[in-house]
Amino acid sequence: MADSVRRFIIQGKTSSGSTFRPSDWAERLAGVMSAFRPPGSVANHLTYSPYVVPRHIDGVKCVVVDPRLRDLEPLAWQFVIDFARDNDLTTVEAYVDKPPVK
């Protein structure tokens, strides 16, 4: 577990098992959240926030959300939680591998 961290994962599947549409929903959600970054970090070009990142996990489009977003900006955290709930998306909390340090 030392190389893993706990994350909130929004899966691109509804509770009925349907694939969520549009197909670029994960990139759109991560793009909306791109302004939320660790204090003191600077992005000189358009990138995703390290707290909200689109991924494919086991063949399913997902958005991996770092729970530190809740402390940084509670309204942003609530936005992603509400997005998942309002769209009836499956969510899980799981340990995922830490990204490489840059």
Contacts of 76 (CB under 8 A, 6+ apart): 33, 36, 69
> Tell me: the pLDDT tens digits for 78-101?
999 999 999 999 999 887 665 544
Question: Rounded to whole angstroms, how far apart are CA atoms 86 and 40?
Answer: 32
Helix (H, G, I), strand (E, B) or coil at 30: helix
| CATH architecture label of 4-97 | 2-Layer Sandwich (3.30)
> Tell me: the pLDDT tens digits for 35-46?
888 777 766 667
Domain boundaries, the chain: 4-97
Prediction pTM value: 0.82
Average pLDDT of the chain is 86
Q: What is the pLDDT of residue 20?
A: 96
